[in-house]
Chain A
Amino acid sequence: MLLCLFTSCGLLDVDTISTISGDGYWQSKGDVDSYLVGIYTSLRDACNQTAHFEDRGDEFVTGLEGGPSNMWAQNLTSQNGQGWDSYYTVIQHCNMLLEYAPQVEYGVESERNQAMAETYFIRAYMYFCIARVWGDAPIELEPTEGSDKPKLGRSPAEEVIARALEDVDSAISLFPADGYVAGKSRASRPSCYALKADILLWKAKVLNGTDQDLKDVITYADLASEGLSLEEDFSAIYDTGNKKGKEVIFAIHFEYLEKDAQYSRTLKPREIFVRNAVNKDQIAYSMSGTRSTYAPSDKLISLLDTYPGDIRKDASIITAVDASGNTIGIFDNKMKGTVTATDNRSYDCDIIIYRLAEMYMFKAEAYAALGQIPEAVTELNKVRDRARIGQYAGAMDKLSVEKEILDERGREFYLERKRWPDLLRFHYEGVIDVYEEVPNLKNKKDQGTIIPLYCAIPLRDLDRNHNLTQTEGYENL
C-alpha cells in the first residue's frame, strides 16, 4: 500500500455496484427490457391523475374534504400554469430507449422490434396527451444526455399530433405480430389501432382534419376490436378479480403491494365519514389513503338517470345514507379496488386506456360526424344494449345524435379520464358550447373572463427556456 500511495495505482478506482453508471448501460437485451419496464412505471405515474382529463370537465363537484384543483375551479392564470414534466419524463425515457436499443446486439431481431414498438406507442400516447392539454408543445425526439440540450420552442398542435401519428405508425409496423403478444398491460398492435382512432378523431374535430380522418377512425376502431367482446356485466370491467378482461385493449397495471393508490381514490371517503352510514358495507371507503376531494356531479347523476334501469348507475356511484335517511355523501362506485386482509381497501384498479365499448363509440362518433346517422346509431346501440337501456329511439337528426353520443360517453366512461377531451371535441365541432356546459367555465365567463381551453405552462419553464412562449389567451390572466 505504501508504494501505492505514491504511485496512486488504482487507489481511486471504485465500483458502482448497486446502481449503474452511465457508461455501463445499454449492453444487452436485458438492459433494454428492464428499461422498457421502467418506462411503464413512469407512464403509470404520469397517468395516475384526474387533473388533466377529468377535473376541467363537468362530472365532478367538490366532495367532503380537501380543496379541489385549480383545473376544476377553472382558476387558471398565467401564474399557475400546469406542469407537463410528468409526460416529458416518459418521453425522455422513450427517447433514450429509441436511441440506444438499435445499438444493442440482439439474437432475434423481432424482440428488439417489439421493445421499440411498445416504446413508440407510449411516446405517441404522451404527445397525444400533451397536445390535448396544452396544444402547442416542444417535440423532443432526442434524449437529454447533458446540459447542452437545445432549447426547443413550442411546435404547433398540428405538428404534435402529426408526430404522435407517425409514432403510432412506426409502432404498428414494428410489432412482430398481431394480438396481445406481451399481454394487455403492455402496448400491442390493437392498442396502436385504438390510439390511432382516438388521435384521428381529435385531429378531425379539433385541428381541422378531413373526412378521410373520420373514415380512418372507423377502420382503426374495427381493427382494434378484433377478438374482443363486451362484458355482460358492466361492473365486471373494473372488477379487480377480472383484470385485463375480454373487453380491455390496453390497461396500465395496478396491484396491491406493487402499486395502488389509483386516482379514483379522490372520490372515496375515509372511514370516519361513513362510520354512521347504514350502507357502509357497500361503500368503497378506506381507513386512510383516500380523500373524497370530489364527488360525482348532479349533471352526471342526471345523465345516469336519463334511462331507467341503466345498470351503470349503481355500478358507477353510491350514496351513503345515515339511519335517518340523510345523505352523508356521494362516492365513486366504479373503481372499488380490493378489500385487503385487514378489512381495509387497496385502490388497485387498472387504469384502462382503451376498451371495446370505446371503439364502438369512436365509430358512432365518426359516422355521426360524417352524417351517416343510422350507422352511428347502430354502434351506439351496442353500448346501450349492454347497459340494458334498449335501442336509441330519439331524434335522428345529426345534432341530436351527436349530443346523444356525447351523453352516452359521459355515462359509459365516467371517471375514465375521457370527459374533458370529449367535451372539447364536441365543442370544436360545434355540437355544444363548452363554456355553457362546465359550470365553473360558465361562471368565469359570466364574470367576464374567458378561460382558454388549453392550459398555461408554468413560469418556471418560461424562465428556464426563453424559446418557450405562454399559451395563447393567458396574456391578461
Chain B
Amino acid sequence: MPGVSVQIKGTLTGTTCDENGEYKINADTDDILIFSFIGMTTQEIPVNGRAVINVTMETDAMMLDEVVAIGYGKQSRTLITNSISMVDEKEFERAPGQNPLMQLQGKVPGLSLEISSGQPGADPKIFIRGGSSTSPEGDAPLIIVDGVISQGFRGITDMNPADIESIVVLKDAASTAIYGARAANGILLVTTKAGSKGKPTVNFRYTFGVEQKPQRLPLLNARDYVYLTRSNTAKFNREELTYNGVANPETFLSGSFGMSTGNPRNSANTLEFLDVYLANYGQDYVSHLLENEGWETMADPVTGRQLIFQDNDFQDATFHTGYKHEVDLNVSGGTDAVHYYVGLRYLNQDGTLRGTSYKNYSILFNGDYKLSEKWKMFTKASLTVRDMKGASNTNNAISRNIRMPPTYRLYYEDGTPAPGEGISSFTNRLYEIYYKTNYSNQVVYRTNFQVGAQWDIIPGLSFKPSFYYFGTEGISNAFEAMNETTGNAIRPASASHGYDRHLQADLLLSYDKKINKHNIGAVAGASWTNDYSYRLEGSGSGAATDLIPTLNATADSTQRVSSTRRYEAMLSYFGRVSYDYDGKYMVSASFRADGSSRFSDGHRWGYFPGVSAGWNMHRENFFRPLDAVVSRWKWRASYGLTGNNNLSIADSRGEYKVTGTPYEGKVGILNTTLKNNDLKWETTESFDVGIDLGFFNDRLNLLVDFYRKLTYDRLYDLPLWSSTGFDSIKSNYGTIRNNGVEIELSATPVMSKNFRWDLSFTFAYNRSIVAELPENGEEKNRIGGNFAWDREAGKEVKVGGFAEGERFGGRWAFHYLGTYQTEEEAALAPIDPNAQSRKKHAGDAIFEDVNNDGVLDSHDMIFMGYIRPDKVGGLVNTLSYKNFTLRIAMDYAIGHVIDNGFKAQIMGSTRNNNNAIEECMTNTWQYAGDGTKYPKYTVQSDYDYQYRNHARWDNQIGNSKDGASNNSLYYSKGDYLAFREVSLSWRLPERWMNKIRMSGMEVFAGAYNLGYIKAYEGMFPEIYTGLDYGTYPRPTQFNVGVNLTF
C-alpha cells in the first residue's frame, strides 16, 4: 500500500512504501519494524532474521488515530467535532518551572497565561478565549485532574510535571457543556501517567538548575547618588519653586534621609562630613574605613567640604542567583491483570529574591486491576508537600528594597544586618531575612485518594462508579524577632491552619455499539461534590525571647484567635450521545443539569445543553484524487450553553459578619453583603466552527477555529450609589461578547534519515466587547468613565468604564510634550489642579491642554491603548539529528500597553528617600535647551510636594491603582516575543546502553526565559493589568540533567 511509513522501533530510521506498496529498509535481525498509516492500525513486527516481511494493513476498527480525553470519556481525534487542544507529555518531561501550568504558555491557541510573580511555585493566571467577564484574569478555567474537580488551582499547584501524561484544553461550549455550571471559562483535563503491560521500566532523572534575575537596573552608586541628590536639592529646593512657598533643603541635606549628613559611627546611614569623622573617631579609624571597608570620599557639591560614605549595593542584597536540585524517579509496568505507575519527586529551588525558596516532595501511585472478565478496579493515591518561604510582598522587594539609597549600610560593625531606612517594608532585604523571613514558613500538604470500578455488564455497556477524596492542609507560621525597627507589637507571631476537603462521587454508565457502519456511543451519569473549608488563625506578641517563635510564648493579653468553617455542595446529572457513520459524519449532543447550594431555593438548578457535528470530507470517495496532497479535511461546528456559579452563598442569601475590630472588647456583627434572592446562573452561549486540514500525509496540519461567545445574565457586582450604604450588589446583569480566531499549525518541514524538523505555531485573536448593559440613562448605558476631548468632533465625549459596543480595558493619560525650557514659557502653562494649581517653572513637565480651556483635567487625557493583548500565540521548533534533539520555544503577545509606573516612581523620587537611576543624572532637565527627555529631578517627592510632573490623577479613565503614572511619558506598547526555551538533549545510542544493561540514557541542558524582543522599556512585558509597579520578573533559568531508563 503506498504511503505506509515503516520505521525501526526506537530509532528515527524509517522509510515510506512506494507507489507499488513496496519498501526497503536496513534493519538488524533483532529490530522491530513499525508500520503505520493514517486511519489504519499501527503494527509492530519483529524482524526475526527475515529478509522480506509482508504486512497487510488493516483499517482501524474505530479509525482511531490519536485518542484524546474528553469530558467523561475518550475520543479519537478524527471523530472529534469540538475545539480541543492537547499538550502531551513531551512538554512536561523536562519542565523547568515548578508549576506544570507554565508549560501551556504559547502551546494552546486561545489560552492566555499571565505570570504575576517570579516566586517559585506561584500559580499563573490563566484564561481561555477572553474569559467571560470584564476582568478575564480571574476567569480561570475549571481544572479536572484525573476526574477530580479542582477548586481553583488546588488540584494542579505543586504537582510534578513529569507525572503528567497530557493536558487537554476544552474550549468550545459543546465540549465543556457536559461540565455545566462551572464550564463557562473552559476546561483543563489533566491526566496523569498510568502503567501499561510490560516489564518494569524505571526512569531516574536528576536536574540541576540555576536561576537569575534577568536584568540589573541601572541604579546609581553612592558617589553618583550623593552628587545628584545633594546638587539637585541645592538647585531646585527653593522657595520660589515649591508649591507652598516653603523650601526645606536642610531636611534633605542634614535631615534624616540617605543623602543627609549627620550620621554618627555605626548608625544606619554612613554619610558624614570627613572632618567630623576625623575629629570624632580619629585618623586610624577613618583610614581603616577607607582602606579595608570600601568607604569613599568626595567633595560635597553643596558646601565643597569633603564627604565620607560607604557604597552599598542593595540590588545584590535583594536578589541573587538561585540553585535548583530536582530528583525524579518513576517506575511503571504491568501484567495482564495489574498495571501500575509510581512517581516520586524531590525538588529544592531557591528563588532569585533572597530568602525565598520552594521545596516540593511528591509521590503518586496509579494502579488498575482486572478483577474478573467483567470487573476492573482503579486506584490512585498521591501526596504532595510544598514547603515554601516567600517574601510577604514580592512587589515591595523590587519597588522598595532595591531603591534604598546606597549610603545606607548593609551591615553594622558587628556583622549583623542593618535596617536600611528601616520603616516597615523599606528595609534592607538582608535585615528582613535575618529578623523575619528566617522564622516564617508555609507548608501545604495535598492528599488525593481515588477508588473506582468498572463493570462490563454486557459487551459495549459498562458501569463506572468512582469516589474521590482531595484534601489540602496548609500550615503557616510567621514571627518577627526583636529588632530596632519593630512595630507596635514586640515579637509579633502568627500561625494559621487551613484545611480544605473535597469529596466527589461519580456514577457513569457508558454504552458503545457498532452496527455495520453506524457507531453509537452514549454516557449518562450523576456527580455529587461536597466541599468543606476550615480556617484557624491565631496571632499574638510580647514574647520574652526570640528562642520560641510560636504563639505559646506570646503574652495572653495580645493573643487573638479566629476560626471559620464553610460548606458547599453541588449535585449534577449529565448525559451525552454521539453517533458517526463510517467515521465520515459525526454528531454529538450532551446535556447537564447542575444544582448548586450557592443559589437560593428557586434558582438552584441550571441546565446546559451542547451539540456538535462534523464531516470528515477526506473520507468521501470524491476526495480520492486529492489524497496525495490533502490527507485530511474535516469540518466542525458546535453550539452549547455553559454556566458560571462564581458567587458565594452570601450573595444570594446575604451575609452578617463579625466586624474587623471589636469595640470596647465586644464583638460586633454587621450585614456586609446584600442578599439577592433573584440571582440565577450566568450563562455563556458559544458557537464555534472549525476546519482541520492535513497535507502530505499529515506532515502539515492546520486547525482553524472561529468562535463567538456571548455571556449573559452576568454575575456581576452591580454598582450602587453611596447613600444605599453599599458599593454594589451581586446581580445578573449585562452581556459580554468575545469573538475570535484561533490557528494551530504543525508541520514537519524536513524529514530525512538523520534529520527531522518539527514545527508548531499557534495564533489567537480575541476581541472582547460589552454587548449589553442595563438601562441607566447614559449614552451606551455607560458605567463609570469620564469626559475626554474628541479632537475631530471638537467636543467632549464620555469615554472609559464599560459601555455597549465598546472594547473594555482602555486607558487614558495626560499627554506629555516635554519640559518648559524657560520661566517665560512656564508662565503660560495651563492651570493644573492635580498639582494644587501651583505655578509652573522651567524644568516642569508640559502637558498638552487638549481642549485649550486653560485647565488640565480629564479632557486633556488622551487614549493610550488597551491593557490586554488581543493577539497571542507561540512557536515551538524541534530539531532532531540522529540522537540529538534541539527545542526552541517562543511565545508572543501583541496589542497591550503598559504604564511603567515603576520608572515614574523613580524619576519622581516618590518617597523623597530613594536611589535614582542613571537617567536621573543624564536625561533630566538641568538648563534651557539641554535636550533632555525627563522633567527636572527634584529629590523632593513628585507626589508629596505637588510637582506632579510624573504621577498624575487617573480621573476615572486612567489606571487607578497605586503607583500608576497616568502620564503618556511612561506608557509604551507591551508587544513582545519571548524566547521561552532553548534546550538540547542527547540520547545515548542504544547499543552502548545495552552493554551496561540500561535501556536508555539521555543528557540534557536547557535555558529558559532568555529574554524578549519588546517595545517596552521595563524589564518584564508580560503585564496585562496595564501597570508595572515593580513586578517580580520571571527568572532566567538554566538546567542541566541526566535521565536514566532501566
Contact = CB atoms under 8 A, between A and B. Distances in A.
B285 interface: no
A287 B424 CA distance: 8
B718 A253 contact: no
Contacts of B944: 65-67
Nearest to B785: A463
Interface stretch (B169-177, B233-241, B557-565, B703-711): B557-565
Contacts of B727: 85
Contact of B526 (A6, A92, A144, A340): A6
B668 A34 contact: yes
A345 B653 CA distance: 42
B754 to A, nearest CB: 58
Interface string A244-286: 0000000001011111100000000010111110000000001
A16 interface: yes
B823 interface: no
A289 B488 contact: yes
Contacts of A35: 668-670
A93 B671 contact: yes
Interface in A65-95: 65-68, 73, 75, 77, 79-80, 83-85, 88-93, 95
Contacts, number: 275
B312 to A, nearest CB: 18
B668 A149 contact: no
A302 interface: no
A350 to B, nearest CB: 11
Nearest to B675: A22
Interface string B247-258: 000110001110
B662 A138 contact: no
B946 interface: yes
Given A287-B485, A464-B721, A21 B505 contact: no
Given A146-B675, A344-B487, A22 B670 contact: no
Interface stretch (A40-48, A305-313, A357-365, A369-377): A40-48
A14 to B, nearest CB: 4
Given A38-B668, A65-B944, A340-B490, A88 B655 contact: no
Q: Is the interface of B mostly helix, strand, loop or mixed?
A: loop
Interface string A213-253: 00000000000000000000000000000000000000001
B722 A144 contact: no
A342 to B, nearest CB: 4
A14 B567 contact: yes
A11 interface: yes
Interface in A404-462: 444, 447, 458-461
B729 interface: yes
Nearest to A38: B668
B669 A34 contact: yes
Contacts of B726: 89, 92, 144
Nearest to B774: A147
Query: Range of interface residues on chain A?
Result: 35 or more
B956 interface: yes
* Residue among A4, A18, A19, A77 with the highest chain B CB neighbour number at 10 A: A19
B671 A25 contact: yes
Nearest to B729: A147
Interface string B135-170: 000000000000000000000000000000000000
Interface in B919-966: 941, 943-946, 953, 955-956
Given A84-B723, A96-B671, A18 B569 contact: no
B858 A38 contact: no
A178 interface: no
Nearest to A440: B836
A344 B595 CA distance: 54
A140 interface: yes
Contact of B256 (A1, A276, A340, A464): A276
Nearest to A8: B571
A37 B566 contact: no
Given A25-B671, A91-B725, A464-B721, A183 B664 contact: yes
B697 interface: no
A5 interface: yes
Nearest to B604: A12
A328 interface: yes
Nearest to B831: A447
A17 B533 CA distance: 11
A20 interface: yes
Contact of A272 (B422, B488, B569): B422
Interface residues of B, number: 97
A341 interface: yes
A1 B663 contact: no
A475 interface: no
A144 B567 CA distance: 27
Contacts of A152: 723
A77 B566 contact: no
A428 to B, nearest CB: 25
Interface stretch (B382-390, B446-454, B776-784, B1021-1029): B776-784
Nearest to A66: B944
B919 to A, nearest CB: 24
Contacts of A12: 569-571, 595-597, 604
Nearest to A30: B669
B836 A64 contact: no
B1000 interface: no
A67 B649 CA distance: 41
Given A31-B669, A39-B668, A146-B674, A88 B723 contact: yes
A21 B784 contact: no
A59 to B, nearest CB: 16
A458 B564 CA distance: 37
A75 B663 contact: no
Contacts of A25: 656, 669, 671
Contacts of B658: 19
Contacts of A346: 488
Given A21-B650, A77-B833, A287-B485, A38 B669 contact: yes
B521 interface: no
Interface in B793-833: 833
B786 interface: yes
Given A17-B565, A34-B669, A258-B662, A466 B487 contact: no
Contact of B670 (A42, A77, A256): A42
B657 A466 contact: no
A113 interface: no
B263 to A, nearest CB: 9
26 contacts: A11-B569, A16-B649, A17-B566, A18-B564, A19-B656, A19-B657, A34-B666, A37-B666, A67-B946, A73-B836, A79-B786, A91-B723, A92-B725, A93-B670, A144-B674, A145-B674, A145-B675, A146-B675, A185-B664, A256-B488, A276-B255, A287-B423, A288-B485, A289-B487, A326-B250, A340-B490
Interface of A: 1-2, 4-6, 8, 11-25, 31, 34-42, 44, 61-62, 64-68, 73, 75, 77, 79-80, 83-85, 88-93, 95-96, 137-138, 140, 143-147, 149, 151-152, 183, 185, 253, 255-260, 270, 272-276, 286-289, 326, 328, 340-342, 344-346, 444, 447, 458-461, 463-466, 468
Q: Which 6 A-B pairs have the closest CB atoms?
A: A92-B725, A22-B654, A38-B668, A18-B564, A37-B668, A14-B567
Given A37-B662, A288-B424, A468-B721, 9 more contacts: A12-B569, A12-B597, A34-B668, A38-B668, A65-B941, A88-B724, A95-B725, A258-B665, A288-B485
